[in-house]
Amino acid sequence: MPGDAMLFLFGVIMAAFLLFMMVFFPLPIWLVHRVFILDFKSIGQVIMFSDLECDYINPIDLCNKLNQFVLPEMGAQAFLFAMFLINGSWLAALLNLPLVAFNVQKVTNNRHMYDATEIFRTLSVHKKECFIKLAFYLLCFFFYLYRMIVALIADA
Amino acid sequence: MAQQPPSSQPQRPPYMDPNANRSPGPRPPMGYRPSGTPPPNPAFRQNGTPPLPASPGRPPYPPNQQGFQPPHRPGSGQAGGMGNVASPPPNGMRPPFPPGVRPSMPPGIQAPVRPMQQQSQLPPQSPVAKAASPPANLAQTPSYSSASVPDGPQSPTGSHMSHADHQRRKRMYPQQITQAYMEQPGAAQGYGGQQYQAAAAPANGTINPQYFVPGSQQQQSGYQEQPATPGYAQQQPAQPQAPGYQSSVAGMTDQFSNMGMGGGFQVRCLLCENVSKRGPMTDNFFGTDLAKTSASICVVDGNPPTDSGFVFTTSSHQPTGQCKRYTWWKASITSSPHANTEISYKRSTINAVPATEALLKKSRLPLALVIAPYRSLQEGDDPVPVVSDTVIARCRRCRTYINPFVTFVEGGQRWKCNMCFLLNEVPSAFDRDSITSQPADRWKRAELNYGCVEFVAPTEYMVRPPQPPAYVFIIDVSYSAVQSGMVATAARTILDSLDRIPNEENRTKVAFITVDSSLHFYNLNAELTEPQMLLVSEIDDVFLPAPTDLLVNLTESRSVIEAFLEKLPDMFKDTTNIKNALGSAMQAGFKLVSNSGGKIICLQSTLPNVGTGALKPREDVKLLGTAKETTLLNAASPFYKTFAVDCSRSQVACDMLIFGGQYSDHATLSCLPRYTAGQTYFYPGFNAARTEDALKFAHEFSELLAEQIGMEAVIRIRASKGIRMTSYHGNFFVRSTDLLALPNVPRDQSYCVEVGIEDDIKTPTVCFQTALLHSTCHGERRIRVLTICLPVTSSMSELYASADQQALATFLANKAVERGLTSKLDDARDAIVNKVVDLLGVYKTHILGSGSGSTPQLTLSDNLKLLPVLTLGLLKHDGLRQSSQIPTDLRSNAMNLLKTMPVQLLIPYIYPTLYSLHNMPAEAGEVGENGVNLPPRLNLTGEKLEPHGCYLLENGQNIYIWVGRGVVPQLCMDLFDVKTYEGLRGGKITLPNLENPFNQKVNMIIGKIREMRRGNYYPQLYLVKEDGEPALRLWFLSHLIEDRTDNVLSYPQLLQHMKDRVRLVAFPAF
C-alpha cells in the first residue's frame, strides 16, 4: 500500500473521528471512564448547545465537558495538516490551512476555551462555528476518501 | 464648531466692557441688540451694575461689587468671555469659543423653556414637574438662568422689574454705539444672522438654516421640544422674560401644531396636571404622561410617579387629534392602583410593545426591561405586601404566578393565565381562610391587587432549608493595607457594625481570615477568652487548619470576636510584608462556607501577587486611550472567572472593597462580584488619616454589612407568548436562557434584560413577570413577583410617544459597557451615537414624515427630549470617555457602576447636578414640604460658573464645591471658616458646622444629597478652587458635559453632528 493511500486512509479515519466528536462528543470519555459515566445520554457538541438552550444542561457542566475536547480536536486537526505538509499533499494541506490558522489565532488570543459566564451571549457564534466545522469535516472526509481511492487505483 | 476661525471676533465691538463678558459665553452680547428691544432679561445684570439694596432675607453674597470685582485681565476683553471665567481654559479642555458662537450656546436651554416657564405659572404644580427638573434646567433660557446670576447684593426675590428698567437704560447706550460702530444692518436686525453665518460657515461648509433664520422665530420654536437643537435664532432679543413673551404663548402653542407633538402636547398637559395628581383613575391622560416623561431626570430624584405602568399614547404628529388610550386597568381584574409594579422596581424602555418584530426593528427602539427587584425602601415607600398563607397559584403550563392581570372564568372557579391562556383551577384557599375557616374575600388578596408582591414559599421551593447568613471577612494585612489605616478602620467598622449585621435568629456566622504572604485564620470558639491565630504559610494548596471554630456563631462568640477586632489593628502594625495571597485566601474562605453558602467580603489593598490568582501590575499608560485599552479592562487571570463560577454554584457571593494606592487591577478583581452578584467598592488613594476617607469607607462598609440581603436566589423572567428574553446585563451568573443565579441579592442593584419578539402579538396587552426566589436573611424562603402589563401597539408614533428616556439611557449604558469590554471603547461610543441617530432619523422619517434631506430642526418626541443630553453624558462619562488620562482602575470602576446602578442613581451619575450656592434662593437649604429644599439646578456648562461664585456639583458618588477666584472673603469665612480665598485648600474636605445661616444651609443641602438616593454610596466632598490643583480642576470640569472637553463634542456640536448624520442617512419609509 503506497504512502499516499496510507496517509489518506489515516485522514479518513481522523476526519471520521473529528466528525464523531462534533456530533457525538463524550464518547472518548465514555471509553476511558466506562465505569464512572453511567449516564451515557449526553451527546455531541451540536446537540449539547441545543440542550443548553432548552435548559437540559447547565452552562458550567457544558463548558467543563466541552473544554476537555477543545485542545485534542485542534491537535488532531493540526497533526493531520502537518502530515499532509510532510507528505507534500498540497491540496489537502491547503484545505486544512484556514482552520489551522483560525485555531492558532484563537489559542494565541486565549479565546479557545468555552467560558461559562459568557456562553449565553456567545452561544449563537459557537453554534454557527460548530456547524461550519461539521460541514468542513464532512467535506474532508469525502475528499480524503476520494484521494485514498485515487491513490489506491493509481497504485494498482 | 470648534474650528471657529477667530475671524468672527472682529465683529465684536472691541470696546465692550470686559466686565460684561466675564461670564462665559452664553449671554447675548448686548451690543448686538437692536435698539428699542427690551433687554433679554431684566434680571440679567453685569457686575458693573450699581448694586441694589440687599434684601434682608439672604446672606449678601457678594456684598458689593467692589469687594468681589473679579480680577479680570486687562486686554482679555472679548475672547475673555470664556477665559475669564474658568480661568485660562485648561489645556484643550474648553477652547475659548469665539464670542460669536458662544453666546447662543445654551441650546437646549432655549428650547423647552417656554412651556416650562408657563408651567411654573400654573397654580397647581405637579411635584415632579417642578422647575428644578432638568428639563426645566435644560430649558432655561440664558435669560432665565441669569436670573440667578450673582451680582449685586440682591435678593432672589428682589424686584426684577425696577431692575429691568434700570438695565434697559443702561444698555441702550452700548447698543446704539454698537450699531453706529458696526454700521451693519444685519447686526441690528437679526442678531443671529450675520454673526452666526460668519462663524458657523467655515466649520460646516454650508450655511445651516438652523443658524440663520433671521426673524423666523415662529419656525424656530420648533425646537421647543428639542432641547438639543442649537436654536441660535432663538437668541433673538425678545427673549422669554421680555414683556412680549407672555403674550406669545398662545401663538407658540399654535406653532407647535406645525411642529410635532412636543410643545403643544406639553402645554396641554400642564392644563390637566392638577387632575392627574388625583390618581391614576382620573380621566386625564396627558398629565400623567408629562409627569412621567418631561419631568424626566428629576423624577428619579424625587419619588417616582405612582402611576408607573401607565401608558398613554398619543398620536404624536397630531396634537389636536384625539388621543388613543390604553390603560392597564382594563387588563387588570381589580381596579387597584398598584396592579402595575412601580417603575423603581421594573420599567421598560418602551411602555408599549410593538405587535410585530418588523415594527420593533423598523422603529430602532430597543426593547428592554430595567429591573431592580430588591431595591431598598426609602422613607415614604410602601413595603412590598407579603402573602403569608403559602397559597401560591401558578399556571400549570408556563408556571406564571397569579397576578392582577389574570381573568377568572367559569364563575370564578378557574383562572385564565395571562401569559399562555391556559385555564387553571383556583385554589380553594382563595375563598376560604384556612386558619380561621371563615369565608375570605379573594379580591382582597395582595397578589390580585399588587403588581409587586412577595410570597412566603413552602418547602417545595427549597432545595434545602434556608441557610444561616455566613460572612467571611478576608482582610489584607500587607504593608500598604496597614499603613493606609485600612485594617484599623475596617476592624473598627466591623466592631461597630456587629449589631447591624442581620442576625435576628441568632444564626449568623462569621469568620475572619487575614492575609499577606501567608494566611492567618482565627479560632473564635466561644469557650476561649482570647482569639487564637492559626498561621498557614502553605498558599499553593490551601487547607483549613481547624475543621470547626473558624466559622463561628456571631451571638455565641460575640466576646471573642470583639476581642479579636480590638486587637487586630495592633497585630500587624509593624508588618513589612508587601505580599498578598488573595486567591488562596479566597479558596480558604470558599472552603469555609461552601457547604452552606454565604458571603465573602474581601478588603484588598495590595495587588494579589503570590499564590493562586497572582496578578501583575499590567497597567501601561501608553495603552490608555487606544484600542488596546480593552485588554486592561478585562480580567487578567482566568482564575477569578472560574472561581466566581464555583462560588456561584455553591451559593457563595463575593464583595470586593478595593483600596488603591497604586494599580490594584480593579478590572480583574471586580470579576468576582460580577458573577456572584456581589458589589464592588473602590477607594482610590485611600488614607485613613484623612477623616473624609475613613468616614466614607466606614459608612459604606457599615451599610454593606447592615444590608438585609437575600440569599440563594434565582431570578426568572417570564413574558407573554411571542416574547423572549434575549440577553441579560448585570451582576449575576446566567444559568440558563431564562434563569439568573444570584448567591446573594444585594439591595439596590439593577439588572437590564433585552427583550425580543419572536411571533406577532395578537393580544391587546402583554405581561412581563419577574420572579425572584430567595431566602431572606431571617431564614424565610420567599418569592418576590413583579408583574407589569404593557399595551401592544402597531403604530410607530405610539411607540415613540411611550418610550422612556431614562430606561433607554440605562439600557444604552449597559450595552455600551458590554461593547466596551468585548470590543473597543470607540465602538461603544459609536454604538451609542448611532443608536440615537437612528432614533432621530426614524422619528423624522416615520413620525414627522419629512423624508430624508435637510430640515431645519432636529426633532424628537417630548418624552425623549433628554435622550441626547444623556447620551452626551454617557459619551463623556469616566467609563466611556475618549481620554488617555483615566487610569484603568477608575475606568473599570465607573463601568462597573454604570452596569449595576439603579436608574435613580444612574441618571445623576451620567448627568450630574449643578447648583449655585452663592445666590441660592432664600428657601433653599431649609426644610420644606419634601425635606430639605434644593436650589434650582443649572445647566452643566462652564458658562454658568461666575468667577466670584461658589457652586456645588454632585453625581451621587462625589460632591464638589467649586469656588471661583473672585469669591468674596465673607463667603469663605461663612462657609469654610477661612479668611480668604487664598487660605482655602482644595481636595477632600469636611465642611465645618458654623453658626451662620449660609453654612447651615449648605450643610443641609449636602446632608440631603447624601441621603436622598438609594444605595450605600456616601458621596465624598471635594473643594475645587478655580486656580487650584489642575488635576482636580480638570476632574471637576469634566463633569460639565455640555462644554467641549478634550476632543469630545460640546452639546450643540453633538446635536449638529447628529443632525448632519440624520440628514445623510436615509431611513426607509414604511
Distance (Å, rounded) from C-alpha B736 to C-alpha B741? 9
| Nearest Cα residue in chain A from B636 | A110
Which of chain B's residues have a Cβ under 8 Å away from the Cβ of A60? 645, 649
Say what the pLDDT of residue A47 is.
Answer: 66
Q: Is B353 helix (H, G, I), strand (E, B) or coil?
A: strand
Say what the pLDDT of residue B733 is.
Answer: 92
Interval B64-75: pLDDT, tens: 333 333 334 333
Rounded average pLDDT over B583-590:
94
Which residues are registered as beta bridge partners of B1023? B961, B987
Selecting from 4.10.80.40, 3.30.420.40, 3.40.20.10, 3.90.170.10, what CATH number does the domain B912-1040 have?
3.40.20.10
Q: What percent of chain B has pLDDT over 70?
A: 68
Q: Is B863 helix (H, G, I), strand (E, B) or coil?
A: helix
Say what the pLDDT of residue B5 is.
Answer: 40
Quote the distance between the C-alpha of residue B393 and its chain's center.
38
For B271, counting Cβ atoms within 10 Å of its Cβ (0-12 exposed, 13-18 middle, 19+ buried), the class is middle
- Residue (of B866, B794, B861, B807) closest to B326 by Cα position: B794
Report which residue type is found at B49. T
Q: Where are the alpha helices (DSSP H) in chain A?
A: 3-23, 27-32, 45-53, 59-87, 90-108, 119-155
Q: Residue A60: which of B649, B727, B738 has the nearest Cβ? A: B649
Which of chain B's residues have a Cβ under 8 Å away from the Cβ of A119? 734
> What is the crossing angle of helices B867-875 and B903-910, to 10°?
70
Say what the pLDDT of residue B1056 is.
Answer: 87
Question: Interior CA angle at B141 toward B965 and B319, to 5°?
Answer: 155
Mean pLDDT check: name the lowest of B31-45, B389-403, B464-478: B31-45
Q: Is A34 helix (H, G, I), strand (E, B) or coil?
A: coil
Interval B342-389: pLDDT, tens: 888 999 999 999 999 999 999 999 999 999 999 888 877 888 999 888
Q: Hey, what's the cell of B1043?
A: 462644554
Q: What percent of chain B has pLDDT over 90?
A: 37
Choose between B622 and B220: higher pLDDT.
B622
Identify the DSSP state of B927: E
DSSP states of B504-532:
TTS--EEEEEEESSSEEEEE--TT-SS-E
Interval B706-748: pLDDT, tens: 999 899 999 999 999 899 999 999 999 998 888 899 999 998 8
Confidence band for B891, pLDDT divided at 50, 70 and 90: very high
Helix/strand/coil (H/E/C) assignment for every residue in B64-118:
CHHHHCCCCCCCCCCCHHHHCCCCCCCCCCCCCCCCCCHHHCCHHHHCCHHHHHH
Q: Hey, what's the cell of B787?
A: 408583574
> What is the crossing angle of helices B805-822 and B888-900, to 10°?
140
Question: Interior CA angle at B100 toward B137 and B944, to 5°?
Answer: 30
3-state helix, strand, coil in chain B (%, to 5): 35, 15, 50
Q: Is B641 on the interface with A (CB under 8 A)?
A: yes
Instruction: Characterize B488-502 residue by residue with b for buried, 16 or more Cβ atoms within 10 angstroms of its Cβ, and e for exposed.
Output: bbbbbbbeebbeebb
Distances (CA, A) of B218 to A22, B143, B231, B255: 68, 19, 12, 7
Quote the distance between the C-alpha of residue B245 and its chain's center.
34
Distance (Å, rounded) from C-alpha B1048 to C-alpha B89? 15
Quote the distance between the C-alpha of residue B738 and its chain's center.
28
Choose between B436 and B5: higher pLDDT.
B436
Whether residue B675 and residue A117 make contact (CB cut-off 8 A), yes or no, is yes
Whether residue A117 and residue B644 make contact (CB cut-off 8 A), yes or no, is yes
Q: Is A9 helix (H, G, I), strand (E, B) or coil?
A: helix
Interval B844-890: pLDDT, tens: 888 887 655 556 677 888 888 889 999 999 999 989 988 888 899 99
Which of chain A's residues have a Cβ under 8 Å away from the Cβ of B728? 120
Residues of chain A numbered 63-82 and touching chain B (CB < 8 Å): none
Identify the DSSP state of B382: P
Distance (Å, rounded) from C-alpha B680 to C-alpha B644? 14
Q: Is A120 on the interface with B (CB under 8 A)?
A: yes
Residues, chain A, total?
Answer: 156
Distances (CA, A) of B937 to B132, B917, B1005: 6, 10, 13
Confidence band for B907, pLDDT divided at 50, 70 and 90: very high
Q: Residue B737: which of A53, A113, A115 has the nearest Cβ? A: A53
Question: Interior CA angle at B119 toward B115 and B124, to 5°?
Answer: 160
Which of chain B's residues have a Cβ under 8 Å away from the Cβ of A58? 735-736
Choose between A147 and B132: higher pLDDT.
A147
Return mean pLDDT, chain B.
72
Q: Residue B641: which of A55, A115, A120 has the nearest Cβ? A: A115
Distances (CA, A) of B768 to B132, B368, B720: 33, 11, 7
Confidence band for A55, pLDDT divided at 50, 70 and 90: low
Say what the pLDDT of residue B605 is.
Answer: 92
CB B510 within 8 Å of CB B471: yes
Q: Is the pLDDT of residue B102 over 60?
A: no
CB B788 within 8 Å of CB B353: no
C-beta neighbour count of B1037 within 10 angstroms: 22
Distance (Å, rounded) from C-alpha B508 to C-alpha B593? 12
Choose between B168 and B339: higher pLDDT.
B339
What ranges make up the beta strands (E) of B477-630? 509-515, 519-523, 532-536, 552-553, 598-604
For B303, counting Cβ atoms within 10 Å of its Cβ (0-12 exposed, 13-18 middle, 19+ buried), the class is middle
Q: Is the pLDDT of residue A142 over 60?
A: yes
CB B747 within 8 Å of CB B503: no
Q: How far is A121 from chain B (nearest CA, A)?
A: 7
Choose between B477 and A45: higher pLDDT.
B477
Distances (CA, A) of B419 to B104, B390, B403, B783: 53, 22, 10, 19
Name the fold adopted by B470-616+638-708.
Rossmann fold (3.40.50)
Mean pLDDT check: name the lowest of A10-19, B276-285, B476-485, B991-1000: B276-285
Whether residue A55 and residue B736 make contact (CB cut-off 8 A), yes or no, is yes
Q: Which residue has the cell 483549613?
A: B544
| Nearest Cα residue in chain B from A56 | B736
Whether residue B728 and residue A120 make contact (CB cut-off 8 A), yes or no, is yes
Beta pairing class for B368-371 and B346-348: antiparallel
- Of the residues B630, B729, B734, the best mutation for testing chain A's interface (the one with the most A CB atoms within 10 Å of its CB) is B734
Distance (Å, rounded) from C-alpha B682 to C-alpha B879? 14
Say what the pLDDT of residue B270 is.
Answer: 26
Interval B653-691: pLDDT, tens: 999 999 987 888 999 999 999 999 999 999 998 999 999
Q: Write phi, then psi, for B858 (nearest 5 degrees).
A: -110, 115
The helix or strand, by DSSP H or E, that contains position B4, with its residue range, turns out to be: none
Choose between B13 and B686: higher pLDDT.
B686
Beta pairing class for B733-736 and B739-745: antiparallel
Which of chain A's residues have a Cβ under 8 Å away from the Cβ of B638? 113
| Nearest Cα residue in chain A from B672 | A117
The model's pTM is 0.74
Interval B1030-1052: pLDDT, tens: 889 988 988 998 888 777 788 88
Confidence band for B1068, pLDDT divided at 50, 70 and 90: low
What are the sequence ranges of the domains in chain B? 1-98+142-188, 470-616+638-708, 912-1040
Distance between terminal CA atoms of chain B? 35
Interval B770-800: pLDDT, tens: 999 999 988 899 999 999 999 999 988 889 9
| Nearest Cα residue in chain A from B671 | A117
Q: Is B644 on the interface with A (CB under 8 A)?
A: yes
CB B160 within 8 Å of CB B151: no
Q: Provide CB contacts within 8 A for B943, sequence distance 6+.
A: B23, B24, B25, B26, B85, B102, B105, B106, B1043
